[in-house]
Amino acid sequence: MSLGKLIPGFGSYFSEQRRRDDDLAMRRYLVERLQGSKKLLQSFALPFVETANFDAIKGAESLRSQMELMQSKLRAATEGYSSWFESNRIDETKLKEVVDLDRDLVGFIDKLDSLISTLDTVKPDFAEVTSTLVRFKERFSRRKDILAK
């Protein structure tokens, strides 16, 4: 006999736990992707150092630190976890919204990589890359709103 039949509510708890695991895996993936974006940015920043282009170095470093901050936020984000015995539980619909939101963030990282790849190594314009990163942060901040509902 399965635990789902023996213990009332266990089946829904198990389903919620799978969503939490999916969310955690997605956030880890996003952290890894941002790490790749930082490495790509660093490879484009090397010519800035070689030519002593201080404005470009400052812009690249600002972006790198913003990406690092997002990585920290992704690592530390609430998983929507509540134990099986807690009365304040996160429902499966909210967990699905969070997972869907995290999946949408992959598109922002794809765009970041694309924009970084096309940066001019002589006189880079970081405005669109910065704007995309800001939109990424705003989208990610919706996570807290979903879990607070």
pLDDT band at 15 (very low <50, low <70, confident <90, very high): low
- 53 domain residue, yes or no: yes
Q: Helix/strand/coil (H, E, C) string of 105-139?
A: HHHHHHHHHHHHHCCCCCCCCCHHHHHHHHHHHHH
Which range of residues forms the domain containing residue 94? Answer: 8-80+89-148
Mean pLDDT along residues 69-77: 91
- 2 domain residue, yes or no: no
- 3 domain residue, yes or no: no
pLDDT the model gives residue 31? 95
Q: pLDDT tens digit string along 93-130?
A: 777 787 788 778 999 999 999 999 999 888 899 999 99
pLDDT the model gives residue 91? 66
pLDDT the model gives residue 82? 46
Split into its structural domains, the chain has a count of: 1
- 61 domain residue, yes or no: yes
Q: pLDDT tens digit string along 32-46?
A: 999 999 999 999 888
